[in-house]
Chain A
């Protein structure tokens, strides 16, 4: 694959997704960035906004194995990663054979992830970060590309288990889904309540995704741009001597270095999607929100002031000079 084809391919993917997903343009873009960058995505939104549909469509367009795990409080880790089951072999001997869980797919939809117990949630940790699963002392590699697209409902908090910081940090992006506009809603209704032959088709395959990822890794980042991204991440820490006032006031805990990795990694993909061969400050700013919003933990003061993560990140961006 030629690097000049990168934006063309991405455009093709987006076009196919747009056949089934109305609106959510920015969400789609960010999901694609995460997919190409090889990161996991946490989608947060009220039910019915098309989160599951988006993931399913994405799986079809990217021609990836797709599995969906509906997280419930009684879901066990083995239900996610798989387990060894006793089976008879050809000679009639009883042997343990690994029964792969739904995680062994290219694209895993972890629906309502915050409903599962922390034990089950943590079963995803290794898979998300290392792309491997260890069961019965044996480590198994997950198929590549491998992504976890988790969803969570921000409204229903009863009977949920908020994701621990360590697990949140393993998501490349946290995307917030908003209600569609009236026009979008019209289009959604027309699409879903009528007969439509225009369904999303395969645009690329898994191998192409991996190639796109390799190309994205080559995108150069100028020193001032990288410096800007890193300073932005550093500025999320309230206890550092040079941290801005907004961080001191509203941030309880800043981003880990994974936040910086996420920003640079995803900014490279965005640059290529824009047809550029270098990362710009705009790329950094664009991906800073989904990369940092689940890594910046707000203080009680921020909550009492009605600030959300995006507001604080916006102020942090303003406080960081190019």
Chain B
């Protein structure tokens, strides 16, 4: 009686372990953060990109307007990819674009904008990247859609045509 049970239990344990690990194989091990968060916009005081004047976040983000806060840098190749879509978004007057120039060289950034166009209404420079951390950003490029002082959507990586359509749908 006893000897019959032990192999059965062993097989059962093996089966359960096998199923757990087999299911685990299919799970993605790449961390994907939540992109639909309703978080308050973090306040910041940063230097303006064009001159040394200080820009305060409370003066940028006003109620009932849509803002796209875009982190970019001239050394970032995917930023060039998404720039076309940002220029497209510039034509939409329901949304304002805020540029976060991330750990960049002023001259390079300026020539980047000269070559590809400047889609931004305001640009601030985040020289050491600490302000981006306050936003919970991972790197460049990354964009946050802001409405009523809340982050309503975030886009990690370059913005593509799908994202563009989604933004237009939200702001409509």
Asked if A pairs with B, the answer is: no
Residues of A bordering B, CB below 8 Å: none
